[in-house]
Amino acid sequence: MTAEVAQSRTSKRVTTAVVAAVLRSFVDIGAAIKALFRASNPTAVGRRSESAAVETKGVEASQIPADAEVEVDAGIRPTAHDELSQQEIERRRSLVRAFFNDFWSGTHDKPAAFGERLDQAEDYLNERLATDGEGWRLDAKTRIMLGLPPRSS
């Protein structure tokens, strides 16, 4: 077997695994949307049919060719909505740091503790984030995610 043929087979397996993972994600998203609509319409809860589960299984299985060699662990991991990449966390930390420094620049009478200074600057930081079009705000959950001290109240 030549190196080109071996690489082609590996590429085909990886591509097939990626496509399978993407299709499974679409099926999961569709199921979540259906569940959301059922939850928002209480009358529909009692009439839930089994077709949604059968439909989901049918789509998932029919999208993968029978002779496909799909690796179970192809390096694809689902990401929850609350999980951010390290790069995005660093970007957000950098924004907070820049806005924080803007808030305290030129002020000589500052609290000694960083947490107290952060608490005092929080409203300003959130205003700047909103002005810059960021969809997130500095709150208790974000402080934990960014490794910042919790609000001292």
* pLDDT tens-digit series, residues 102-152: 999 988 899 999 999 999 999 999 999 999 999 999 999 999 999 999 998
- Cα–Cα distances (Å) from 88 to 8, 10, 29, 75, 98, in that order, read 34, 31, 23, 20, 15
Q: Assign 45 a pLDDT band (cuts: 50, 70, 90).
A: very low
**pTM, rounded to two decimals:** 0.46
* DSSP codes of every residue in 73-108: -SS-----TT---HHHHHHHHHHHHHHHHHHHTT--
DSSP, collapsed to helix, strand or coil, labels residue 28 as: helix
- pLDDT tens for 5-15 read 556 666 667 67
